[in-house]
A = this chain, B = another copy of it.
Amino acid sequence: MKLEFWFEFASTYSYPAAMRIDKVAATQGVEVEWRPFLLGPIFKAQQGLDDSPFNAVPEKGAYMWRDLERICEARGLPFQRPSRFPRNGLPAARATLALPNDRRPSFVKAVFQANFVHDRDIADPAIIHAALRRAGVEPFEIEERIDDSDIKDQLRADTAAAAARGIFGSPTFFTEDGEMFWGDDRLDQAIDWAAHIAAVQH
């Protein structure tokens, strides 16, 4: 009874999804697997874009910022539009992979808050370190591991796997029977689906 949660740290709608997924999943006994990946190479390969579609198509961007603002307001979630978008999520993605599973959610949420609440550069080592400490990890304990070639290889492989499985945006959720759901607005449906398969199988 698992749900894979694939996310890119620069992605706007991934912020509200990351902040609530554990709580929603827990109500249905679903376990969440936090899977960071990079959207940049996917946008480039699929759409020939060197930037976020929200910048490439300003009309979509303008709507997205307002929509996100309304979503956060409705949920009582703090939000500040970042002064730079999209930010470089690569170092945070590597750090996530270097962490044990049980530390990932707190770290990931702290990084999303740095980007979308505190308007900080999430590629800055000081911000990554602060997020690690928020997750109860001493930065020096994993600092070397973040730069290990196996972590770099894993992120590259995970991003390739995301593309191969049809991912084109973030957040994306996969249930154990392979159903794919895209967007914060499909999170509840994805959790329901994950819980329902489990009910049928067991």
Contacts and interface: CB of A to CB of B under 8 A. Distances in A.
5 contacts: A59-B166, A59-B168, A60-B168, A63-B166, A67-B182
A201 interface: no
Given A166-B62, A185-B185, A57 B47 contact: yes
A185 B187 CA distance: 12
A160 interface: no
B168 A63 contact: yes
**A interface bracket (residues with beta carbon within 8 Å of B):** 20 to 34
Interface string A113-155: 0000000000000000000000000000000000000000000
A66 interface: yes
A46 interface: yes
A180 B59 CA distance: 12
Nearest to A62: B166
Contacts of A59: 46, 166-168
A179 to B, nearest CB: 8
A168 B67 CA distance: 14
Nearest to A47: B57
Interface string A50-79: 000000110110110011001000000000
A144 B109 CA distance: 61
Contacts of A186: 67
A47 B48 CA distance: 12
Given A59-B166, A59-B168, A66 B185 contact: no
A132 to B, nearest CB: 33
A177 B182 CA distance: 30
Contacts of A181: 67
Contacts of A46: 57, 59
A196 to B, nearest CB: 12
Given A46-B57, A57-B47, A57-B168, A63 B182 contact: yes
